[in-house]
Amino acid sequence: MYFQYNSVRRKRFLWHHNRAVFKNELISLVLNENYYNLLLALDGEVALGGKQVCYKLFDEEKNLLNACGEIEEAAFRYFMEK
pLDDT of residue 69: 78
Q: What three-state secondary structure class fits 81?
A: coil
Query: For residues 58 and 65, is the Cβ–Cβ distance under 8 A?
Result: yes
Task: Print the SS3 string covering 10-79.
Answer: HHHHHHHHHHHHHHHHHHHHHHHHHHHHHHHHHCCCCCECCECCCCCCECCCCCECCCCCHHHHHHHHHH
Predicted confidence (pLDDT) per residue in 1-51, tens digit = 455 556 777 777 777 778 888 998 999 999 999 999 999 998 888 888 888
Which residues span the domain enclosing 61? 2-80
Query: For residues 36 and 80, is the Cβ–Cβ distance under 8 A?
Result: yes
Least confident of 12-21, 28-37, 61-70, 73-82: 12-21
Query: For residues 64 and 57, is the Cβ–Cβ distance under 8 A?
Result: yes
Question: How many domains is the chain built from?
Answer: 1
Query: For residues 70 and 42, is the Cβ–Cβ distance under 8 A?
Result: no
pTM value is 0.69
